Structure 1
Amino acid sequence: MSDVASKKSVYRVQGFTCTNCAAKFEQNVKALPEVEDAQVNFGASKISVYGEASVQELEKAGAFEGLKVYPEKEQRSIEKEPFWKRRSTITTALSAIFLISGWFVGEEHPASFMLFALAILIGGYELFIKGIRSLVRFNFNMNTLMTIAIIGAAAIGQWMEGATVVFLFAISEALESFSMEKARHSIRSLMNVAPKEATIRRGGQELQINVDDIAIGDIMIVKPGQKIAMDGKVIKGRSAVNQAAITGESVPVEKTEGDDVFAGTLNEEGLLEVEITKRVEDTTIAKIIHLVEEAQAEKAPSQAFVDRFAQYYTPAILVLALGIAVVPPLLFGAAWGDWIYRGLALLVVGCPCALVISTPVSIVTAIGNAARNGVLIKGGIHLEETGHLSVIAFDKTGTLTKGVPVVTDMVTFEGEDEKSSLGIAAAIEKWSQHPLASAIVRKADDEGLDLTEWETQDFTSITGKGAKAVIQGTTYYIGSPRLFDELSKMNERMVKETQRLQKQGKTVMVLGTETKPLALIAVADEVRDSSRDVIQKLHALGIRKTIMLTGDNRATAEAIGKQVGIGEVKAELLPQQKLEAIKQLKETGKVAMIGDGVNDAPALASATVGIAMGGAGTDTALETADIALMADDLTKLPFTIRLSRDTLKIIKQNIAFALIIKLIALVLIVPGWLTLWLAIFADMGATLIVTLNSLRLLRTKKE
C-alpha cells in the first residue's frame, strides 16, 4: 500500500439526514485527488479517510447537504440548531403556506398556478439540485425518483399534486432525520459520560487539568459526588462508586486501596486519590465508544441483503414506471396524461426510503441500548447471530462461579485442634502461589489468627501435588489426597470424608506430617447466586442445550452442574479440548461460548458468538469476544438474547411492511386509484412506521 493510502484520518460529521446522503458524501470524498479511499459510518456519523484531505475539502464534498466535519479527537459540543431556525424548516413552512393558499383559492383560479409553483420551487429546491446531479451521473436514488416525479407532475399540469408531494416529502425527510438522531443519541450519551477536566495533584498543588493533558502516573483527587474522569487505581481512600455507565449495574461497588476505577463512573461517598493508569484515549469508556461505533459500521447480514436488493430495486422501479407511462398509450391508444401520471405515482411510492432504513436504524438502536445496559455488542452480525443461538457453552470458574475460592469445611483427626491446624496450613500456604492457597490464608485472617505463632522454615513447593515446610522442628505437608496416598496410606475415614466433600463439588486438601494426617480442608469456588436462575431463563427462552466446559475435576464440575441445572458437563478439558468441543457443538446449531476471555480465547474465537464476562478493565475480553458483558453479571445474558431476537423480529417486520406497502401501491396504480399525494403519504407513512418500530428496541430492558 502506498504512503498516501496508509495514512488514515477519522472525522466526525454533523448533518447526515439519510443513508443516500452519506453514500453520496463518501463518493465525493473518494473523488478528491489525494484520497485513495473513504468509508462512511452513517450510524456513528463518522468518516475514515485514507490519504490526504483538509477539513475544508471534506466540507466542500459535503456542501450539497451542508455537512460540518471535524477531527475525531477534537472535543466539540454538538451544534444543536433550534428546529424553527433550520433552513429546511423555514423552506418547508413557506412551501406549506403557498400550498395551503393554493388550496384555498382553488385550482381553477389563475393565481393557484403561481402559488403551487412557488411551493414546489421553495420546498423542492435542494431536492432538485441533488436529484439532477444524481440523474446526470446515472445514479438512480431516492432524490432522482422524486425529482422526476415532481417535475413530471408539473409538466402534465398537476401543479397541486406536485406541490403536495414536495411538502410531504420534506416532512418525511425531517422525520427520518429525527428518528436517526434519536437512535444515535445512545452513543452520544456515552461520549458525554466522562468529565473533560480533573483535579490533579502536581508539585504539592491541586490543579484543574484537561483530560488530554493528564499523564499516566498522575494522582487524581476525586471528591464525593464527583464523576471520575480517568481510569486508574485507588491509592488512598474508600468509597462506593456507581459504575452503571460502564457495567450497567445500578448497585454501587465498594472501592478501596488497590481497586480499579473507570472514567465516567460516579464517586458517591468518600474522598479518593487515584493513580492514573491509562491515557484518555485508552480508557474503558473510550474503548466502549470506539467499539460500539465500529459495530454500527459493520453491516449485519440482513442489511447487506437490503443494500444489494436496493441496488437493483431502484433502477427496476424507474424502468417499470417508464413502461407504465409509455406502453399503454403507444400500444393500446390510452390517454398519455393518465398513464404518465400513474408512472409518476409509481416513482413516488417506489422510493426505497423505508426499505433502506429498515435495518440500520434497528441495529443502531439495539447496539446503543445494549451498551447503555452494560453489554458491548461488536457488530450487527453478532447481534443477529445471537438471535439464532440454540446451544450455549459455559466455562465454570469466574462464569458460573465467582472465581474466588473459599474454605467451606475443616475435618480434624485424632483430637487435633481446628485452630492450630488452620494456623499451620495458612503459615505454609502464605508462601504458595496456588490459587487455593489464598483461600486458606484469607480464612486464617478472618479467624484473627497470628501466623507468627507458626514460624515457617524451608518452604518447598511439590509441583502438581502441594507444598511442605518445617514448623517448630516438624515437617508438615499440605496438598492433594494423592500426595498423602504416596506418603502414608489414607485411612478409611479420610477416604470417606474426602469422597463426601468432593461429591459436593469441593476441592479437598490434606494437612499432615509424613506419618499421620491432621486435617482435611475443603475449598470451593462459590456458585454465583444468579447462575441457576439464568440457566432456567435460557431454557425458557428456547435454548436447546446448555453445557459446561471446564478444566476442573469431574466430581466438582458435576456437582456444580447439578446445582445450577446445566444440561451437560464436560470436565478436565485442556484449552485445545474445549476448542474441539465447540467445533463438535457447531455441527448441531449456532453455539455461544461464555467465559472470562483469557483462558478461553480459542473457544471464544471458534464459537458462533464468543461472549466474555467482565469486560470492564479487561482488554483481552474486549478484544477476543464478539460480545462483552461489562460487569460480572450473568443476568445480562438472557437480556442480550431477548434483545437480539427482538431486533431480528423488528427487522423482518420492517422489510415485510415496506415491501407490502409497495406491492399494494403497485396494484392500486393500474386502475388509477393511487394519486401522487397518496403515494408520497404511503411512502412517508412506511418510513415513519419502520423507524418508530425500530425505536421500540429502546424499550427492551434487563429483567
Structure 2
Amino acid sequence: MGETIRREWRVEGMDCAACVASVTRAVERLPGVSQVEVNLMAERLTVSLAPGASVAAVEQEVAALGYQAAPLPAPDAAGSAAVPGAAGPDRSEAGGHGHAHGGHADDPAEAGKPWWRTGKAMLVWALGGLVGGAYLLSFILPQGQHWLFLAATLLALIPFGRRAIALARAGSPFSIETLMCTAALGAVVIGAAEEAAIVVLLFAVGELLENVAAGRARAGIRALAGLMPRTALRRRADGTTETVPADRLAVGDLVRIRPGDRVPCDGSIEEGRSALDESPVTGESVPVARGPGEAVLAGAINTEGVLHVRVTRAAADNTVARIIRLVEEATASRAPTHRFVEHFSAWWTPGAMLVSALVILLGPLLLGWDWQTGLYRGLAVLLIACPCALVISVPAAMASGLSAGARRGLLVKGGAALEAIGAARTIAFDKTGTLTEGRPRVTRIIAAEGAAETEVLALAAAAEAGSAHPLARAVAAAAAARGIAIPPASGAGAEAGRAVLATVAGRRVAVGSPRYGAEAARGGLGKLAAAMETLQGEGNTVSVVLADGAAIGLLAFRDEPRPDAAAGIAALAALGVRAVMLTGDNARTGAAVGGALGLEVKAGLLPDDKLREIAALRGAGPVVMVGDGINDAPALAAASVGVAMGGGTDVALEAADAAVLKDRVTGVAELMALSRATLANVRQNVAVAVGLKVAFLATTLAGLTGLWPAILADTGASVLVTLNALRLLGWTPRL
C-alpha cells in the first residue's frame, strides 16, 4: 500500500461553525479520505487521501453543499509560494465570504464586489421583492392574499430546500436549513403563509449579516498579509536593480531597500545602516538600529538609510508568512471551552426537536391549547433549536483574539493555549535572556596563584568556542577585545547545566558552575572561594576555569535586567499573578536580580531541577513558563503553557505554545491581559447565545412571540456574538 498524501483546498462560502461541521461530515464519508481538517477563518480544507482516492470527489461533495473548493497550489521549484492568507484576488471586507446557505456560495468573480452586490445579497433583494410584492398585491387582491404569500414562500424555499436536502444526504439532517424549511412549510399548512414568508426573508437577511461579519473577522487575519510589499528591488550582477514580485525572491538574492520601503524578505544586511521600525511585526514601537551582518525581518519599515539585504528565507517561509500560518493554524485549534460547547450543541438540537414534538402533542392535551396553536408554537421552537450562535460564540472570539495578538507581536498557537494563559496564577521566568538582556559581559577575571589572566581567558574562550550560550559569546568578546589569540580545541563536550569541556594545547580544560568547580577541582578552590563569594554578592555570575583538574581562575559576568523587566513584573502583580524566577545561577546572584525586580527566586537549578519546580508549581494550578526558547525547552514543554521570548527566531516561533516577539517582559503581561479579554468575550457570547434562546423559548411557549421572532433567536444571536467577537480586533493593552 502506498502512503497517503495531504491535499489542501480553499473553500469559499463558510461563515459559521455549522458550515465547518457540514463540510467535515460530508468529506469524511468519502472512500479513501481521512484526517479531515476544516479551518473556518482560514477557509481551508485539508485532507489525507489514500492511493487511488478521488480528488474530484472531494470537490464535488463540497460543491453539492453549496460551497466552492479551489485547490491550493504547491510551492514551485524555486521554493516560493503564495503568502498564507493572501491567496486569491484582493477582496472587500465582506465580498466573497457569504454563508452559502441556500446554495449561493460566493463566486470567485464576486470576490472584489461590495457585500451588497454578492450572490447572497442578491438573494435577499429578490426575497424582499417577493414579500414586498405580495404585500402590495394583497391590497389589490385581498381575497388572494394567502396565495400570494404562499407563492412567495415556496419560491423562497427552493434554494434553502435544495441545501437542506444536500446537507441531510451528507450526514447533517438537523441543519438550520432543515429546521427553517420544516417550520415554514408547517406554517403554510396551518394557514400562516404570511409569517412563513417573513421567516424565510429574515433568515436570508440574517445569513447576509453573518456574511458581512465573517468577512470582517477574516479581514483581521488577512490584514497581516498586507505587511508584505508586493514588489522588491533585486540587484543584478552588474549593480543595477530590477523590480520583481516579492514572493519570487529566492534565497541568496540581494535586495535594495530604500528609506520608507517595507522590507520584502527575511535577510541579513550586507551594506548600509539604518533604523528599522519593526512594530508591524513585533509590536515594538521604538525603531531599532541595524547594520552589516545583522538580521532584518520581513514587514519591517526602513526609516533612514539605504540597505542592501541578502535574502535568507524564501517568501513562503519568512517571518510574516510564518506568523500568518501560525495564526491560521491556531484558529483551527479548539479550546476546552470550544470542545465543551460543541459536545453540548450536539445534544441541544435533538433535545430541542424533542421539546418541539412534546409542545405539539402535549400542549393541547395538558394545557388546553387547540391543535393549531400547539403546532404553531412547536414550529417556533424548531426555529429556536439550531445551535449556530452557540457554536460560533467561542471560535469567533478566539480567532479575533489570536489575530489582535499577532498584530502586536503576541503569537499564541491555538485557543487551548490562549485559554490556559488567562487561567494561570503563576508565571515562571528564566533569568538569562528573558528577564535580563541576554548580553552578559565579562566584568572581572581572577587568576589563581601561578596563572595569568590572559591564560585563564584564552583557555576558557577555546573551550567555549562554537557554543551559542550567552556566556560563551561574552568570553569570546572579552578575548577579542584584549586581542588574545584563541588556541584550537578538540574533544569538546558538555555536562548539561554544569560545564563545558575541551582539550586545549594538550590540557583538559573545563569551564563550569561554582558547584561544578568545587566538586571537580583537585585540592578545592583555595583562595578563589573567597573571591567567588565576593563576586556573587555583587550580583555577578561566576564561572570556574579548570585545567587538568586544577582551578586556575574565575570569570565574572554581569547581565543587566531588561529596562522594562521591573515594570513587567509589576504589571503581572497588578493582574493578581505570582511571578517566580527559575535560574541555574547561584543564590546570591539570583537574589540580587530578583530583589531588584521584585519577584520570588529559585536559584541554583539544573535543567532537571527546573522540571521539578514546574511540576510543584503546577500542583497549585496552571503555570506559564517564559524562557528564551533554546535552553529552556524542557521547562517550556512541562509547563501548562510555554512562552518563548525572541524577535522572530525559529525557536521563538515554533518551540513554545506562545511567543512574545517584541522581546519585552511587559509583553508577557500583555499576553495575560489579551487572554483574559478573550475569555471575557467568550463568556459574553455564550451568555447572549443561550440567553436569547431561553428567552425566546419562554415567550414562544407563553404565546407572546411567534415564528419570525423565533428565527431571530438563531440568526440574530449569531450576528450579535460575531459582532461582539469583532470588538477584540481593536484590543489594546491597558497596563
Please give the range of the TM-score, normalised by the shorter of the 2 chains: 0.7 to 0.9
1:41 equivalenced with 2:27 (yes/no): no
Counterpart for residue 2 of structure 2: 3
Structure 1, unaligned stretches of length 5 or more?
A: 413-420, 471-477, 512-518
Residue 21 of structure 1 aligns with an amino acid whose one-letter code is C
Deviations 1:204-230 (A, max 9, x none): 353434455443222222222222222
Counterpart for residue 150 of structure 1: 184
Cα distance, 1:341 vs structure 2: 0.7
Contact 1:240 1:253 in 2 (8 A): yes
Cα distance, 1:122 vs structure 2: 4.6
Residue 157 of structure 1 aligns with an amino acid whose one-letter code is G
The more displaced of 553-562 and 222-231 is 222-231
Counterpart for residue 557 of structure 1: 590
1:247 equivalenced with 2:282 (yes/no): yes
Contact 2:262 2:300 in 1 (8 A): yes
Question: Normalising by the residue count of structure 2, what TM-score does the alignment of the two structures yield?
Answer: 0.82
* Aligned pairs (5 A) from 1:213-362: 213-329=248-364, 334-362=369-397
- The 1:90–1:479 alpha-carbon spacing in structure 2 relative to 1, beyond 3 Å, is closer
Contact 2:436 2:559 in 1 (8 A): yes
Residue 77 of structure 1 aligns with an amino acid whose one-letter code is P
- The 1:230–1:456 alpha-carbon spacing in structure 2 relative to 1, beyond 3 Å, is closer
What SS does the aligned partner of 1:192 have? helix
Contact 2:278 2:301 in 1 (8 A): yes
The more displaced of 574-583 and 73-82 is 73-82
- The 1:661–1:398 alpha-carbon spacing in structure 2 relative to 1, beyond 3 Å, is same
Counterpart for residue 661 of structure 1: 692
What is the CA–CA distance in structure 2 between the aligned matches of 1:564 and 1:119, rounded to whole Å? 71
- The 1:28–1:271 alpha-carbon spacing in structure 2 relative to 1, beyond 3 Å, is same
Counterpart for residue 611 of structure 1: 643
Counterpart for residue 623 of structure 1: 654
What is the CA–CA distance in structure 2 between the aligned matches of 1:571 and 1:596, rounded to whole Å? 17
Counterpart for residue 70 of structure 1: 71
1:676 equivalenced with 2:676 (yes/no): no
What SS does the aligned partner of 1:233 have? strand
Query: Which of 91, 99, 113 is the matching residue for 2:146?
Result: 113
What is the CA–CA distance in structure 2 between the aligned matches of 1:153 and 1:353, rounded to whole Å? 22
Counterpart for residue 629 of structure 2: 597
Deviations 1:561-618 (A, max 9, x none): 1111012x12121111111111111111111111011111111101001111115023
- The 1:458–1:621 alpha-carbon spacing in structure 2 relative to 1, beyond 3 Å, is closer
Cα distance, 1:373 vs structure 2: 0.9
What is the CA–CA distance in structure 2 between the aligned matches of 1:686 and 1:400, rounded to whole Å? 45
- The 1:76–1:328 alpha-carbon spacing in structure 2 relative to 1, beyond 3 Å, is closer
What is the CA–CA distance in structure 1 between the aligned matches of 2:387 and 2:544, rounded to whole Å? 72
Contact 1:191 1:289 in 2 (8 A): yes
Counterpart for residue 619 of structure 2: 587
Residue 587 of structure 1 aligns with an amino acid whose one-letter code is G
1:524 equivalenced with 2:558 (yes/no): yes
Residue 123 of structure 2 aligns with an amino acid whose one-letter code is T
Aligned residue-pair number: 676
Cα distance, 1:87 vs structure 2: 2.0
What SS does the aligned partner of 2:581 have? strand
Contact 2:65 2:167 in 1 (8 A): no
The more displaced of 281-290 and 335-344 is 281-290
Cα distance, 1:67 vs structure 2: 2.2
Counterpart for residue 19 of structure 1: 17
What is the CA–CA distance in structure 2 between the aligned matches of 1:214 and 1:437, rounded to whole Å? 35
Contact 1:94 1:119 in 2 (8 A): no
Counterpart for residue 690 of structure 1: 721
Cα distance, 1:443 vs structure 2: 7.3
What is the CA–CA distance in structure 1 between the aligned matches of 2:533 and 2:604, rounded to whole Å? 18
Counterpart for residue 417 of structure 1: none
Counterpart for residue 574 of structure 1: 606
What is the CA–CA distance in structure 1 between the aligned matches of 2:45 and 2:534, rounded to whole Å? 63
Contact 2:234 2:242 in 1 (8 A): yes
What is the CA–CA distance in structure 2 between the aligned matches of 1:25 and 1:254, rounded to whole Å? 49
Counterpart for residue 683 of structure 2: 652
Counterpart for residue 85 of structure 1: 117
What is the CA–CA distance in structure 1 between the aligned matches of 2:639 and 2:60, rounded to whole Å? 43
Q: Report the structure number with the largest CA radius of gyration.
A: 1
What SS does the aligned partner of 1:169 have? helix
What is the CA–CA distance in structure 2 between the aligned matches of 1:345 and 1:509, rounded to whole Å? 76
1:405 equivalenced with 2:417 (yes/no): no
Cα distance, 1:468 vs structure 2: 14
What is the CA–CA distance in structure 2 between the aligned matches of 1:508 and 1:61, rounded to whole Å? 64
Deviations 1:444-500 (A, max 9, x none): 99xxx8x56x88999999996999999xxxxxxx999979x9999988xx9887645
* Aligned pairs (5 A) from 1:392-431: 392-406=427-441
What is the CA–CA distance in structure 1 between the aligned matches of 2:489 and 2:22, rounded to whole Å? 72
What is the CA–CA distance in structure 1 between the aligned matches of 2:512 and 2:655, rounded to whole Å? 35
Residue 611 of structure 2 aligns with an amino acid whose one-letter code is L
What is the CA–CA distance in structure 1 between the aligned matches of 2:132 and 2:488, rounded to whole Å? 98
What is the CA–CA distance in structure 2 between the aligned matches of 1:202 and 1:59, rounded to whole Å? 47
Cα distance, 1:346 vs structure 2: 0.9
What is the CA–CA distance in structure 1 between the aligned matches of 2:671 and 2:533, rounded to whole Å? 39
Contact 1:26 1:38 in 2 (8 A): yes
What SS does the aligned partner of 2:411 have? strand
Paired-residue identity, %: 36
Contact 2:65 2:166 in 1 (8 A): no
The more displaced of 461-470 and 139-148 is 461-470
1:387 equivalenced with 2:422 (yes/no): yes
- The 1:642–1:488 alpha-carbon spacing in structure 2 relative to 1, beyond 3 Å, is closer
* Aligned pairs (5 A) from 1:447-466: 451=482
Cα distance, 1:625 vs structure 2: 0.6
Residue 158 of structure 2 aligns with an amino acid whose one-letter code is Y
Counterpart for residue 62 of structure 2: 61
Deviations 1:403-431 (A, max 9, x none): 1013568999xxxxxxxx99999888776
Residue 642 of structure 2 aligns with an amino acid whose one-letter code is G
Contact 1:462 1:468 in 2 (8 A): no
Counterpart for residue 514 of structure 1: none
Residue 47 of structure 1 aligns with an amino acid whose one-letter code is L
- The 1:105–1:312 alpha-carbon spacing in structure 2 relative to 1, beyond 3 Å, is same
Cα distance, 1:197 vs structure 2: 3.9
Residue 645 of structure 1 aligns with an amino acid whose one-letter code is R
Counterpart for residue 415 of structure 1: none
What SS does the aligned partner of 1:404 have? coil
Deviations 1:161-212 (A, max 9, x none): 1111112111211222222222222221122322344333344353434455
What SS does the aligned partner of 1:527 have? coil
Cα distance, 1:326 vs structure 2: 2.4
**RMSD, matched Cα:** 3.8
What is the CA–CA distance in structure 1 between the aligned matches of 2:488 and 2:275, rounded to whole Å? 43
What is the CA–CA distance in structure 2 between the aligned matches of 1:240 and 1:590, rounded to whole Å? 40
* Aligned pairs (5 A) from 1:398-547: 398-406=433-441, 433=464, 435-436=470-471, 439=474, 451=482, 499-507=533-541, 523-543=557-577, 545-547=578-580
- The 1:702–1:668 alpha-carbon spacing in structure 2 relative to 1, beyond 3 Å, is closer
Cα distance, 1:526 vs structure 2: 0.7
Structure 2, unaligned stretches of length 5 or more?
A: 75-81, 91-110, 506-510, 546-552
- The 1:402–1:94 alpha-carbon spacing in structure 2 relative to 1, beyond 3 Å, is same
Question: Normalising by the residue count of structure 1, what TM-score does the alignment of the two structures yield?
Answer: 0.86
- The 1:72–1:532 alpha-carbon spacing in structure 2 relative to 1, beyond 3 Å, is farther
